[in-house]
Amino acid sequence: MLQIDDMVATESIAARPRNRAGTERSIFLAARDLLAEQGFQGFGINAVARRAGCDKQLIYRYFGGLDGLIDAIGADLGNWVKDRIPQDSGGAFLLTYGDLMERLAILFMDALRDDPLVCKIIAWEVSKDTPQVRRLSEARAKALSKWLDKMRGSLAPPKGIDSATTNALLFAAIQHMVISASVSGQFAGVSLKTAKDWDKVASAVRRLVRAIYG
């Protein structure tokens, strides 16, 4: 039986003007923020509903429950790279494949540093093996691969270089540095706390790319 407080809360929610798009967006942002702050340990229907300020039944209605919310976050991660990195970063003004990879590596590093949820997902990839983490990880990996293919256009790596493996190592190194910075502020004795520190990292990335791709 509903208590008086529950009846009042239900009536209050029902009395609000309905705006499905706005409510869905509020639920999605609440879920994304909660996942970034607390991980899957604090990720539940009730917690998301409280954060979004809505009835939890709306989460089931609009997303089908937690799995639907995770899928929505995964789809959003599919757009993460292209949303954060300018679409004109490759192509016409870059003369070689090395120029392109140098530019994209730095842009990727800057974008990653600004997104705590993506950093957490990357950390989860090597520490957790759950269906939820795999779903999010696969969405991010596919997006990165498609982004690289689109941005390079007709530019090709020098002959004899395994660009897929090389780029995987390059981006993995960048990811690890960013995650280490968020955890300890350093990696292997290299400080990762200030803008000057990251300028040094960017310079090292550029030199590595130039050494590999010419």
Q: End of a domain among 27, 44, 73? A: 73
Domain that holds residue 176: 79-213
Residue 93, pLDDT score? 59
Picking from 64, 62, 69, 77, the residue whose alpha carbon sits closest to that of residue 47 is: 69
Task: Give the tens place of pLDDT for each residue, 135-192.
Answer: 777 777 777 777 777 777 788 999 999 998 999 899 999 999 999 998 899 999 999 9
Same domain, residue pair 126 and 164? yes
- End-of-domain residue from the set 30, 45, 73: 73
List all residues 6 or more positions away from 180 whose beta carbon is below 8 Å from its beta carbon.
186, 187, 192
How far apart are alpha carbons 54 and 49 in whole angstroms?
Answer: 5
Q: Which of 67, 68, 74 is nearest to 143 (CA)?
A: 74
10 with 2: CB under 8 angstroms?
Answer: yes
96/165 same-domain check: yes
Residue 106 sits in the same domain as residue 182: yes
* 82 vs 36 pLDDT, higher one: 36
Same domain, 87 and 42: no
Same domain, 11 and 90: no
56 with 14, same domain: the answer is yes
Mean pLDDT, the chain, whole residue set = 82
Tell me: do 43 and 106 sit in the same domain. no
> What phi, psi does 186 have (nearest 5°)?
-165, 165
| pTM of the predicted protein model | 0.69
| Size of the chain, expressed as the number of residues it contains | 214
Domain boundary among 22, 55, 73: 73
Same domain, 59 and 121: no
Total domains in the fold of the chain? 2
The DSSP symbol for 94 reads -
Tell whether 193 and 88 lie within a shared domain: yes
